[in-house]
Structure 1
Amino acid sequence: MKLTRVCIYPKDVQRITGKSEKASRRLLQKIKDNMGKEQHQFITTDDFANYTGIQNSLVQEYLTE
């Protein structure tokens, strides 16, 4: 079984959406605010997929090791 990463970072958002790094950081902050997460908490692929409406399987394809 291959383990995949579950956390989303700005570089991943850039690859998935084509947005700039700053716009990607803002989007991740919006997701955190919307979900009531604290600053030290991570955004998961499920969180990102639910917020953006992109299928989780597609999000996983864009994650790199």
Structure 2
Amino acid sequence: MTRICLYPKDVAALTGRSYDSAKRLVRRARQAAGKPAGALVTVQDFCRLTGLDATEVSEALNAPVSR
């Protein structure tokens, strides 16, 4: 199953920003999408704000974890 929601930890890993900066970015993406506080932020919402390619972000988010 593929993930479509982003959390600050994911944004921090994808962008190289700190966790606090990633939280602000997720909050901005939520506000830009017109969603209420606490609503989930999708890959599409995040990519509309940042201009990143949704396919690349989705692939990075859903990449298998090597152990």
In structure 1, C-alpha distance between the alignment counterparts of 2:6 and 2:42, rounded to whole Å = 6
Please tell me whether the aligned partners of residues 8 and 44 of structure 1 are also in contact (alpha carbons under 8 angstroms): yes
Map 1:36-51 to 2 at 5 A.
36-51=34-49
Unpaired runs of 5+ in structure 1?
A: none
Bigger relative contact order, structure 1 or 2, given CA contacts below 8 A and separation 6+?
1
Q: Could you give the per-residue CA deviations for residues 6-51 of structure 1, whole angstroms, max 9, x where no partner exists? A: 1001111011110000000000111112222101211001111111
Unpaired runs of 5+ in structure 2?
A: none
Superposed CA RMSD in Å reads 1.4
Tell me the TM-score normalised to structure 1 length.
0.85
In structure 2, C-alpha distance between the alignment counterparts of 1:32 and 1:47, rounded to whole Å = 7
Map 1:1-20 to 2 at 5 A.
3-20=1-18
Counting matched residue pairs gives 63
Tell me the TM-score normalised to structure 2 length.
0.83
Q: Percent identity?
A: 37
Structure 1 runs (4+) deviating above 6 angstroms are none
